[in-house]
Amino acid sequence: MGFRKSGPASSADMFAAEAEGLLELAKPGVIRVPKVLGYGVEGNQAFIEIERLELAPATAHVETQFGEQLAALHRTTAEQFGWRRDNTIGLTPQHNNQTDDWVTFFREQRLEFQLRLAAQNGYTGQLQEQGAQLLKRLPLFFKDHDPVPVLLHGDLWAGNWGCCDDEPVIFDPAVYYGDRETDIAMTKLFGGFGSKFYAAYEAVSPLAPGHHERCDLYQLYHVLNHLNLFGSAYLGRAQQLIRNLV
């Protein structure tokens, strides 16, 4: 028996995007992803059904494996940033219109989108003023960093990976092709990843100079999304990240 998630028929596209994202992550064959057993609409319910996983606590060995395997996943490249379809980050729409320029992609389809959504949700004033300053300064973070579009999980917090049969497994993705540092930044946002994971990743694929500063930038996208999804508890953190950056 598989693991089934369901929702109103209107969520069919969200589940289809999740299924396609899992299939995209599985293609390189470098890290375990639950098999997609089916998705679609039955009656007035949309659903996705995936392989059921029996998760266990991760050992130091599995954390090391995970770091190595994520570095290998990030060797899968595309010609453009974005993806062939839009998806969601949590329940928020995530636009993935393909483009050759990473700064433009991240500005327009990540930060600008979330800031507009925040304004619609009533978060105006300082957040928007400082956010606008940051958007103007965005190219400065990439003077010496020219990322290539790599396959990303897209929502890689501690709740979206686990240990199954003594190996790492990833799930609940928000897939697109972008700067690999965005996945690493997300792992550092809420904790849950050990030192062996990072050491193993960097042993295979060292991060570029300046990645610490860009970490705040990439975390901001997810903090703004949490602000829009869960409310004002995330406002202070979003404003602090922006102050650090401007």
What pLDDT, on the 0 to 100 scale, is given for residue 204? 95
- In a domain, residue 8? The reply is no
Q: What is the pLDDT of residue 192?
A: 85
| 48 within a domain of the structure (yes/no) | no
Is residue 47 situated within a structural domain?
no
Residue 163 pLDDT greater than 80, yes or no: yes
Residue 172: its pLDDT value, please?
A: 96
* Residue 165, CA atoms < 13 Å, CB-side half-sphere: 7
Please choose, from the candidates 71, 63, 74, the residue with its C-alpha nearest in 3D space to the C-alpha of residue 196.
63
CATH number, position 59: 3.90.1200.10
pLDDT at 191: 87
* Residue 110, domain extent: 55-245
Residue 86 bears catalytic tag: no
Q: What is the pLDDT of residues 201-227, one digit of tens each?
A: 999 999 999 999 999 999 999 999 999
Is 146 strand, coil or helix? coil
Amino acid 194: pLDDT: 92
Confidence band, pLDDT 50/70/90 cuts, at residue 13: very high
* Overall number of domains in the chain: 1
| 123 in any annotated domain | yes
Asked, for residue 14, whether it belongs to a domain, the answer is no
Residue 180 lies in a domain: yes
Residue-wise DSSP of 16-64? HHHHHHHHHHHTT-SSB-PPEEEEEEETTEEEEEE-----BPPPHHHHH
Over residues 101-159, the pLDDT tens digits come to 999 999 999 999 999 999 999 999 999 999 999 999 999 999 999 999 999 999 999 99
Annotated active-site residue in 155, 172, 179, 216: 155
Residue 24 lies in a domain: no
- Assigned domain for 154 exists: yes
